[in-house]
Amino acid sequence: MYRHIFISYSRKDSSEAIDLAERLRAEGMTIWIDREGIGGATQWAGEIAAAIRDCSFFLVLLSENAVESANVLKEVSLASERGKRILPVVLRRTPLPVSLEYHLAGIQHLFYSDYPAILSSLKGASGVLATGGPLPKFAEDRKTLLVFPFEDLSPSQDNGWFADGLTGELITTLSKIKSLHIIDRVTSMGFKGARARTRDIARELHVRYFLDGNVRMFGDQIKIAVALLDIETGEYLWHDSHKGVFADIFEIQENVAKKVFEGLKLTWTLEEEKNILTWGTENIAAYEYYLKASNAYNMWTHDRMKSAIELSEYAIKLDPQFAEALRLKANALVHLYRLWERNIVHLREAESLFLHAQSLKPLLKIASGFVMLYCVQKRFSEAEEIVNKETKENPNDFYSHFLAGYYYYNSGQLDKAFEAYRNSLTFRPDYRMSHWNLIEALDRSQRNEECAQWAFRAIPIFERWVVLHPEDQFGRAQYALLLQFAGHAETALSTIASIMEDENADGLSLYTAATLFLHRSEEDTAATLFDRAIARGFSDIELLTNDPHFKQVESGAKFQSVLERLRRKIDESGFKEIDESTFGTNS
């Protein structure tokens, strides 16, 4: 009789295997996992063989350790011989030996980071678990759409900026139609590589339609393939492909947008049609620089933020009326000042750019930029005015609550910040930065038990992000700190190790690593990492000095040295023109 899910793993991966088992048990599943180690051939043949014989699902964690484990190979072989439903879960990518590849051939592999997909697969286990349930009933009055991140299929595989930029631009364009509810860019980009999970995503986000596509770019030649899927019927409403040169990109995007509207049988007003078919600039070279700048902006390092500013400057020089490029440069300048370069000129230029962009395009969404700028400048009454207006006019918009959380956090109202971020998550449960900022607010308030609970909830979201974006060091550092909060100390250490070993690691990532060691009470390592963070450009003194964990150790000689070095760096950059009081910022 089928009774449980068997988890096979290498002893060297015990921490991850046990964490997964505990999470699955919390879902009401019965798990068989050898936690103590069963020695001897007789015992193995008895207890483990019986557990595999009686299991309903066999889950194997794949890693460089697993492929070298004789026991894992035995267990997989026995499960295969008995015809068990096998679920390979990739903990870390590694080539499979022929002995394992034979048994796992043709079976879909999932990533350890993609917990929702693992859960969904296991819910299909016959005899022990309920099915994932039917799709929700979708209303016809306002159709819902998610744009999957377009895949870069270019021969050189180095045109991710174009694939991501096209995804973002289509989301921006389609979001202008009131009769269409489209999932925001940040949430959409989090589903890179998750196309096999469309039904699960449909249930999670209440989405019926999916726009999927890929791009090929070679020199100036481009090819874009797009398809629109109706998840309720399981049918594609249309497939299309476009060939041309980069200069045709506006026409191609216009055609794709029109086909989405036709496929979904949407209606639009003349004003909406005018807004939809406006790309912000008619200068194709300016547009290319803007897409590249957007791609750089979304990767939080000192070098990438400076690159975003430089690329947006090129776009603005080619088209001084390009409001979106003005806004992008302004946002990047505020972040550059806030985290890395305390040059007062950055803030003055940012404010001028925001105001100019708003004058050129009054309907352009700039509220978040102004709130961020005013919080950095300690102009809290002006930030509060914008936040109150946004939450009143858009009570069901997750980002209005996110902005409120940002304002409350920076003005020191941590309990209100927690509530605002929690409200934002009711509208976007998978929004990473709402989780991160909420957890930071709890940590700063020293609400440790709640902090651990929320970190545990957020870990799957950050796991998925780290796997899909391995180049994002800050994302990896965030994930490691959440593991520490949730009590997975050893996994946190192994996750942060690559950043600590990287001589060129960015200052923000090193700062986050340092805070992890503060939480571990490893003060010497923390002080060393803070010094490295400052040397690599980190300058957010408020983020440091308002951390209660730092306050507990700042009187020590090493931490006084850290503060002296940071203050000296800030004084040299002219930050003293702003009142250095009260509170800092979070991401």
Reported as a single tens digit per residue, the pLDDT across 163-208 is 888 888 888 777 777 777 888 777 777 777 655 567 767 776 778 8
Res. 578: pLDDT tops 70: no
Give residue 346's pLDDT: 92
Task: Give the mean pLDDT of the chain.
Answer: 82
Give residue 45's pLDDT: 53
Among 328, 376, 322, 368, which Cα is nearest to 348's?
376
What is residue 401's three-state secondary structure?
helix
Give residue 389's pLDDT: 92
- Alpha-carbon distance of 474 to 499, in angstroms, equals 9
Give residue 2's pLDDT: 43
Q: Which of the two residues, 85 and 374, has the higher pLDDT score?
A: 374
Q: Which residues contact 91 (CB under 8 A, 6 or more apart)?
A: 13, 16, 61, 62, 63, 66, 112
Q: Say what the pTM is.
A: 0.66
- Alpha-carbon distance of 558 to 379, in angstroms, equals 33
What is the longest distance spanned by two Cα atoms in the chain? 79
**Does domain 443-587 fall into CATH 3.40.190?**
no
Reported as a single tens digit per residue, the pLDDT across 349-392 is 999 999 999 999 887 788 888 999 999 999 999 999 999 999 99
- Asked whether the domain spanning 443-587 has the same topology as the one spanning 4-122, the reply is no
- Alpha-carbon distance of 292 to 282, in angstroms, equals 17
DSSP state of 125: -
List C-alpha distances in Å: 371 to 86, 171, 316, 409, 582.
Answer: 50, 23, 23, 12, 17
Give residue 3's pLDDT: 62
User: Any alpha helices (H) in 319-379, and if so which ranges?
Assistant: 323-335, 344-360, 367-376
- Alpha-carbon distance of 434 to 184, in angstroms, equals 14
Res. 581: pLDDT tops 50: no
Decide: 296 and 197 in contact? Cβ < 8 Å: no
Give residue 438's pLDDT: 95
Q: Which of the two residues, 239 and 587, has the higher pLDDT score?
A: 239
- Alpha-carbon distance of 272 to 149, in angstroms, equals 24
Decide: 29 and 81 in contact? Cβ < 8 Å: no
Lowest average pLDDT, out of 59-63, 269-273, 332-336, 416-420, goes to 269-273
Res. 129: pLDDT tops 60: no
Residue 321, classified by CB atoms within 10 Å of its CB into exposed (0-12), middle (13-18) or buried (19+), is middle
Reported as a single tens digit per residue, the pLDDT across 282-314 is 888 998 899 889 888 887 788 899 999 999 999
The domain segmentation of the chain, as residue ranges, is 4-122, 143-279, 443-587
Lowest average pLDDT, out of 3-17, 141-155, 424-438, 470-484, goes to 141-155
Give residue 585's pLDDT: 42
Give residue 124's pLDDT: 54
Among 484, 439, 474, 477, which Cα is nearest to 458's?
439
**Does domain 143-279 fall into CATH 3.40.190.10?**
no
Give residue 274's pLDDT: 65
Give residue 318's pLDDT: 95
Give residue 327's pLDDT: 94
Instruction: Indicate left, alpha or beta for 441 from its phi (over 0: left) and psi (-120 to 50: alpha).
Output: alpha
Reported as a single tens digit per residue, the pLDDT across 253-270 is 888 888 888 788 877 666
List C-alpha distances in Å: 513 to 54, 113, 476.
Answer: 44, 20, 10
**Does domain 4-122 fall into CATH 3.40.50.150?**
no
Res. 479: pLDDT tops 90: yes
Reported as a single tens digit per residue, the pLDDT across 29-55 is 888 888 654 443 434 456 788 888 888
| Bridge partners, residue 211, by sequence | 147, 228
Q: How many CA atoms lie within 13 A of 125 on its CB side?
A: 25
Res. 545: pLDDT tops 50: yes
Q: Which residues contact 466 (CB under 8 A, 6 or more apart)?
A: 113, 472, 475, 476, 479, 495
How much of the chain, in percent, has pLDDT values that exceed 90?
Answer: 30
- Residue 36: CB atoms within 10 A of its CB come to 5
Reported as a single tens digit per residue, the pLDDT across 218-265 is 887 888 888 888 887 777 888 888 888 888 888 888 888 888 887 888
What is residue 349's three-state secondary structure?
helix
The mean per-residue pLDDT over the stretch 453-482 comes to: 86
Beta pairing, strands 221-230 & 235-245: antiparallel
User: Any alpha helices (H) in 361-447, and if so which ranges?
Assistant: 367-376, 380-393, 398-410, 414-427, 432-444
